[in-house]
């Protein structure tokens, strides 16, 4: 199990990025959260198998149709998966 926090920079608000991210994470069986930040970025916390997290990061660079991802910062965390019930979009 791995836990990671992502900060996704670019044109990622107003394009359905959080919903898309939620759907992709759910397909991969990951737990965690995704939310918009006041500075226009998106933050996500992912918990799950390392291979699936790596795949999610790859997909995150693509995003939904109108998104443009410039950069993704990664920070490893020590969060236990039992803190999360599936994957949620935070407001």
Largest Cα–Cα distance of the chain, in whole Å? 34
Active-site position among 9, 19, 36, 41: 36
CATH number of the domain encompassing residue 43: 3.30.70.100
What's the domain range around 38? Answer: 2-82
pLDDT tens-digit readout, 8-45: 999 999 999 999 999 999 999 999 999 999 999 999 99
* 17, 63 contact by CB (below 8 A): yes
- Tens-digit pLDDT profile for residues 63-81: 999 999 999 999 998 876 6
**Nearest residue to 53 via CA among 16, 79, 15:** 79
Q: What's the pLDDT score for residue 81?
A: 62
User: Considering the domain boundaries, does residue 35 fall inside one?
Assistant: yes
Would you say 76 and 4 are in contact if contact means Cβ atoms under 8 Å apart?
yes
> Is 16 contained in some domain?
yes
In a domain, 91, yes or no: no
Residue 20 located in a structural domain: yes
For residue 18, indicate whether it is catalytic: yes
The answer to whether residues 69 and 12 touch, using CB atoms and an 8 Å cutoff, is yes
pLDDT at 82: 61
Residue 79 or residue 82, greater confidence: 79
Q: Identify the pLDDT of residue 22.
A: 98
* pLDDT at residue 1 in the model: 85
Catalytic residue among 18, 59, 65, 91: 18
Domains identified in the chain, total number = 1
Active-site residue flag, 36: yes
Question: Would residue 13 count as lying in a domain?
Answer: yes
């Amino acid at each position: 199990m791995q836990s990671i926090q992502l900060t996704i920079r670019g044109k990622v608000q107003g394009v359905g990025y959080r919903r898309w991210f939620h759907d992709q994470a759910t397909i991969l069986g990951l737990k965690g959260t995704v939310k918009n930040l006041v500075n226009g970025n998106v933050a996500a916390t992912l918990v799950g198998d390392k291979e699936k997290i790596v795949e999610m990061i790859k997909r995150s660079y693509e995003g939904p149709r109108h998104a443009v991802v410039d950069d993704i910062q990664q920070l490893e965390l020590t969060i236990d998966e039992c803190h999360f019930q599936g994957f949620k979009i935070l407001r």
